[in-house]
Structure 1
Amino acid sequence: MHRPEPNFNLAAQVLKQAEQRPSNIAIVYEGRETTYGEFAGRVRRQAGLLRDSGVCVGDRVGFLGFNQPTFIETLFATISLGAIFVPLNFRLTGDELTFIIGDAGVHSLVVDSELAPVIQSVKERLPCRHYFSVGDDVEGFTSLDSAMASVPQLDDVVALAAHDTLLIMYTSGTTGLPKGAMLTHGNIVWNNVNANLAFGAKSSDVLLTAAPLFHIGGLNVMTISALQMGSPLVLLRHFDPGAVLAAIESYKVTHMFGAPAMFLFMAQHPEFDSTDLSSIEILIVGAAPCPASLISLYGERDVSFCQGYGLTETSPFASFLGPERCLEKLGSAGLSPVHTELRIVDSNNIAVGPDVRGEICVKGPNIMKGYWNRPEATAKAIDAQGWFHSGDVGYLDDEGYLYICDRLKDMVISGGENIYPAEVESVLFEHPAIAEVAVIGLPDDKWGEAVTAVAALNAEETLTLEELRSFAESKLARYKLPLKLHLVPQLPRNPAGKVLKFQLREQLS
C-alpha cells in the first residue's frame, strides 16, 4: 500500500498553527501584538511577491537587518516557495557581505533601510536580481510593504522532504573565509524535537528573543520553536538589559535564550532587584560556560538555568544540562539529547574512554547537510560514519556528561605542555577584581607560547600579574599560570557573546 510522504516544509507546520489559532498572539514587537492570523497573511503575501519576482524552488533569498518581524516573515515566505533563506550578519562590512551574497548566489535581497547604505556601496558587485527595503523608502530598492499590497498571496506551500535545505547560515569565519552551513527542514525540526523534550515546551509558554536572529542561537534555540508550538514570541530589535527586564515583567516571559554575558549584564542592571522574575520557568544559556556565581545569583531569585552546547552545524543543540544538576555538574555542558549522540575521539578518529580528552563529535538528524559549495570542507567535517567533527576539545565523565575544554585551535602549547584556556579562565574569573577574562597564547622565544590573560576589571579595581599568579597558584599547575597580563576596557565579542580570541591575538602579538 502506498503511503504519501508528509510535507516536511517547516512553513506548512507554522501556517497550520495559524489556521488553528488565528487570534492567538504570534509576535510582540515594540509594543505591537501580531496575531497568528495576521502573521500568516503577511507570510503568504510576501511569498506571493517573491514568487512573482521569479523566486523558484532552490533559489536563495537573503535578509540583512536587525531583529524584527519582517525577518521571520521573510524566512517563512522564502521556504513556503521551497527556496532557501540566507540570514546575513548586520555587523559585517560591505566587502564581507559581498563575499557571502556572491557565494550563496542570492536571488532577492530584503534589507532593513537603516543598513541599505552598506549594500548600496557594493551593489554593482552583487548578483541579486531584486532588492527590497523594509522601513523607509530607499533609492534603488523596492518598498517591501508597498509591493506586497498589490500581489495575490501564495495559497499552497511547496511540499518538501526532510533532506531539503531550509537555510544557509554562514559561520563566523574566525579563520579564513566564512562557510555556509546548509541546514535542512529535518535538521531544524529534529533539533526542536530534542529541545522540546528537554524543556517540556507548551503553547502557553511565552518566549523572548533578544539575541540576533542571524545567529543559530537567536534563530533556532527558541524563536522558530515558539512559532511551531503556536506560542507568543516577544522579540527585541537589539539586546538591552533594561528592555529585557521590562519585557519579562510586562509579558510574563517564561523562557529566554542568551549568552552568559547577556544574563550578567541583566544582573548588573539597576532594575534587576526590583523586576518581577516569577514568570520565568527557565533561562537557556549557551555560547560559553556559565559561571557558578551567575547560577547562584539567579538561583537566589528562584530562576534556573539550562545550559546547552552546540554549533551552527548542529542546528544547534548537541547537549543539554538541566537545572536539577547544574551545580553538581558545574562546568559540564550536559548530556546528549534524545535523538543525538556524542563521542570523543583521538587524533586517529578512535573513540576514547571516560575522562580522556579528545575532539567532540556529534551524530544525529540535527547535523547539517554540509557546507554550501564546499565538498572538501564537508568531507573534512563529517566523516564516513556520519559523525560531525566539532573542532572542540572535551571529555565525557563516567555518566556521559560532556565537559568542554576548548577549541582545538585555541589550545596553548607552552613548553611542550597542552594548556586549555577555558580551564585557566574558570580559575581567573573567580578573582574579585576581574569582570571578564580571556586566556590566549602569544609567541614566546623561551616557551613557544606564553599563557596570556586578557582581563577587564570591575570599577575602581586594580590588578598586577604577580597578584593574579599568586591568586591562582594553589588551583593551577605552574605551567598553566599566566606569564603575561593585559588589561582592556572590555573583551571583543561576536553577536553570540563569544570572545573573539583571534582579534586579541592579532592585537597583542
Structure 2
Amino acid sequence: MHALGLATWFRRRAERDGSRDAISFAGRTLTFAQAQAEIEAFADMLAASGVEPGDRVAYVGFNHSRFLIALFATARLGAIFVPLNFRCTGHELAYFVRDSGAQLLISDEAHSGPLDEVRADLDVRTYLRFGEGAEGWQGIDELLARDCPHVQEAPVDPDFPGVIVYTSGTTGNPKGAVLSHRNLWTNNVNWMLSVGYGSDHVALTSAPLFHSGGMCVMTLPMLMAGAHVIIHEKFDPGLLLDDVERYRVTSLFLVPAMMQGISRHERFDSADLSSIRIVVAGAAPVPESLLRLYGSRGIPVSQCWGQTEVATGATFLGTEEALDKLGSCGTAGLLNEVRLVDFSGEPITEPGVRGELCVRGDTVTPGYWNLPEATAAAQGGDGWFRTGDVAYQDEDGYFYIVDRLKDMIISGGENVYSAEVEDAIYGHPAVSEVAVIGAADERWGERVVAVVALKDGAELDLETLRDFAGARLARYKLPLELRLVDELPRNTTGKVLKHELRAESTSA
C-alpha cells in the first residue's frame, strides 16, 4: 500500500485539511498545506544535492519544525532518515554516521563544529547546514533559495526502512533500530485507536525528536490524525506551562523526570491546566506518588509502554482507568499482541507471575542495522520480539512493568526488581530521585544499593531509609548501601544511566 509511506500520508492529510494548523515552533505556525510546500521544496533541494532512493540522510540538531520537514522530505525521495542525538560528542556522532553509512549529513549551526572535528573519519558525500554556509558546509537557506528541479514523490515499499533510530545506549554501543514505513504507519494508527488521538487535539512535544519517544509517541500520530503539534526546542517546565495555557494544549508526552520537573515548578499549582485531556507517560515507571499528585490536579496520566524496537506503542492504559489501575501500563494495543514468557521462553498465563514481555505485530522492527546476530537474538525465530523488560499481569489482564532484565538484582538467590525498590524509596519525603542497582557482594552475590539525590536541605541515612522502605518491602529487597549524589546521570530521554552508577560502584 503506497499510502503507508511517511511522505504519502502527510501529503494526503495536507490535501484534505490544508488550512488546518499543523506545526508550531517558536511562535511560527505552519498549516498542513504550508508544511507540505516546505517539504516539497526541501525534497527538491535534497535531490539536487544528490540524494537518491535508499540513501541515508543523517540529521543532528535541536528540536525544531525543520526536523519534521527534513524527515518527510527524505521520505518523499525514498531515502532513509537517520536522526542523531544532538547531545553526543563529535566522536559519538561519528559512530552513528559511519554505522548508518549516511551519504548526506544535515546539521544546525550549533552542531557543525563537533562534526568538523571528526570529518576526516567520515565518508559523507555532502554536508548541509541550516543558516549560512561555512567551510566544508553548504548553507541550506541559500540552496532553498535556488530554483531546484521539482521531483515527484517516490513510490515506497511499505516494508522499506523509513528511519533508523539509534537506541538510548544505556549499555554498550547504541544499536540502529530500523523502522519501516509500515512500522511507523501502524504505530500511528495504534496510538490513535488505543488512546484516542484525533484532529481536535493540540499536542505539545518537548522530548527530543531524534528519539523514538519524541517522534513516535505523539508527534507523528497526532500529525497523521490531523492534530496541531507544538514543538519546543528543549524541555522547559515554565515555558511548557505557559504554552499549555496559550494554545489550550490537550495532550503531552512526558517521562517521569519531566513530570517531576513540572510538578516542582512554582506555577504548577496555579496554572490553568484544564485543557489537558491526557498525559502519556513512558520511558520508565512513574512513581505512584507522582501519579497521585497529577491526579489531584485533575490531570489524567496514561502510563503506556513500548520501546524503539516496537515503534514505541505496545501497551496502552486509558485515562479512565489510570487511577483504578495505578502503576499499570495497560493492555496490548489493538494492532499488536503482547505476552509474557519465563526465562526458558515458555508462555506465562497465570496472574502475578513475572516474565519477559514479548511483542508481535506490524509495529515490530525488522531488525537492527548491520547487526544480524543481535536481530536474531531479539526476534527469537518465533515471531515474538524479546524486549528485555520484566512485567506481570493482574487478574484483569493489565500489565505492570517491574524492571529491565539487565537491571534485576540476584541477592542471596532471590530476584530483586529495582523498579519495585525505587518506588518504595521514592515515597520518602527526603528523596528527590532514586536509582537502585546491584553491587558485587561476597556474602549475597549481589547487594542492593540505593543511589539517592536528596531534596534541598534534607538528610537521610541508611538505617532511616531501611526502616521506611521496610514497611513495603521484604528484608532481602532492602538496601544494604546508600549512596548520596547531587543528581542522577540521565540520557536525553530521561532514562537513568545505571551502567555509569554500576561502574562507580565497581571502582569505589
- Which SS does the other structure have where 1:138 is aligned? coil
CA distance in 1, matches of 2:448, 2:150: 58
CA distance in 2, matches of 1:392, 1:292: 19
1:487 and 2:507 are equivalent in the alignment: no
Structure 1 counterpart of 2:92: 96
| Residue 453 (structure 1) aligned to one of 447, 450, 453 | 450
Structure 2 counterpart of 1:160: 156
1:14 and 2:10 are equivalent in the alignment: yes
Structure 2 counterpart of 1:198: 194
CA distance in 2, matches of 1:254, 1:434: 31
| Residue 38 (structure 1) aligned to one of 34, 37, 41 | 34
- Which SS does the other structure have where 1:278 is aligned? coil
1:504 and 2:501 are equivalent in the alignment: yes
CA distance in 1, matches of 2:117, 2:294: 45
Cα pair distance change 1:153/1:27, threshold 3 Å: farther
- Which SS does the other structure have where 1:102 is aligned? helix
Using the TM superposition, name which of 24-33 and 458-467 deviates more. 24-33
Structure 1 counterpart of 2:57: 61
Deviations 1:417-466 (A, max 9, x none): 21111111111111111111110001222222110000111111100000
- CA drift of 1:153 comes to 5.8
CA distance in 2, matches of 1:293, 1:331: 10
- Which SS does the other structure have where 1:451 is aligned? strand
CA distance in 2, matches of 1:474, 1:80: 57
Residue identity matched to 1:45: A
- CA drift of 1:274 comes to 2.1
| Contact 2:302/2:329, CA 8 A, preserved across alignment | no
- Which SS does the other structure have where 1:328 is aligned? coil
| Residue 392 (structure 1) aligned to one of 368, 381, 389 | 389
| Contact 1:217/1:316, CA 8 A, preserved across alignment | yes
- Which SS does the other structure have where 1:487 is aligned? strand
Deviations 1:104-152 (A, max 9, x none): 0001110011111110100111111111111344321111121012143
1:118 and 2:114 are equivalent in the alignment: yes
CA distance in 1, matches of 2:315, 2:366: 19
- Which SS does the other structure have where 2:459 is aligned? coil
Structure 2 counterpart of 1:364: 361
| Residue 258 (structure 2) aligned to one of 256, 262, 265 | 262
**1:195-344 maps to which residues of 2 (within 5 A)?**
195-344=191-340
Cα pair distance change 1:446/1:377, threshold 3 Å: same
| Contact 2:192/2:225, CA 8 A, preserved across alignment | no
Question: What is the number of equivalent residue pairs in this alignment?
Answer: 505
CA distance in 2, matches of 1:269, 1:29: 23
- CA drift of 1:155 comes to 4.8
| Contact 1:47/1:153, CA 8 A, preserved across alignment | no
| Contact 2:104/2:124, CA 8 A, preserved across alignment | yes
Deviations 1:287-314 (A, max 9, x none): 1112222222222222101111110000
- CA drift of 1:22 comes to 2.5
CA distance in 2, matches of 1:80, 1:317: 25
CA distance in 2, matches of 1:62, 1:113: 15
Residue identity matched to 2:357: I
**1:123-162 maps to which residues of 2 (within 5 A)?**
123-152=119-148, 154-162=150-158
- CA drift of 1:392 comes to 1.2
Residue identity matched to 1:383: G
CA distance in 2, matches of 1:211, 1:10: 21
CA distance in 2, matches of 1:146, 1:74: 16
Any stretches of 5+ residues in structure 2 without a counterpart? none
| Residue 427 (structure 2) aligned to one of 418, 426, 430 | 430
| Contact 2:184/2:311, CA 8 A, preserved across alignment | yes
1:173 and 2:173 are equivalent in the alignment: no
Residue identity matched to 2:26: E
TM-score calculated relative to the size of structure 2: 0.97
Deviations 1:373-399 (A, max 9, x none): 111111100122210000111122232
Residue identity matched to 1:388: F
- CA drift of 1:58 comes to 0.9
- CA drift of 1:93 comes to 1.4
Using the TM superposition, name which of 257-266 and 211-220 deviates more. 257-266
- Which SS does the other structure have where 2:141 is aligned? helix
Cα pair distance change 1:474/1:302, threshold 3 Å: closer
- CA drift of 1:412 comes to 0.9
1:70 and 2:63 are equivalent in the alignment: no
- CA drift of 1:21 comes to 2.5
CA distance in 1, matches of 2:485, 2:149: 53
1:412 and 2:409 are equivalent in the alignment: yes
CA distance in 2, matches of 1:321, 1:89: 29
Cα pair distance change 1:174/1:296, threshold 3 Å: closer
CA distance in 2, matches of 1:152, 1:383: 47
1:379 and 2:376 are equivalent in the alignment: yes
| Residue 80 (structure 1) aligned to one of 46, 68, 76 | 76
- CA drift of 1:333 comes to 1.2
| Contact 1:46/1:153, CA 8 A, preserved across alignment | no
CA distance in 2, matches of 1:256, 1:291: 18
What is the RMSD computed on CA atoms of the aligned residues?
Answer: 1.3
- Which SS does the other structure have where 2:348 is aligned? coil
Deviations 1:221-274 (A, max 9, x none): 111122212221111000000010001100111111010111221111111222
TM-score calculated relative to the size of structure 1: 0.97
Using the TM superposition, name which of 449-458 and 298-307 deviates more. 298-307
| Residue 28 (structure 1) aligned to one of 12, 21, 24 | 24
1:463 and 2:460 are equivalent in the alignment: yes
CA distance in 2, matches of 1:250, 1:171: 34
CA distance in 1, matches of 2:31, 2:130: 20
CA distance in 2, matches of 1:478, 1:304: 34
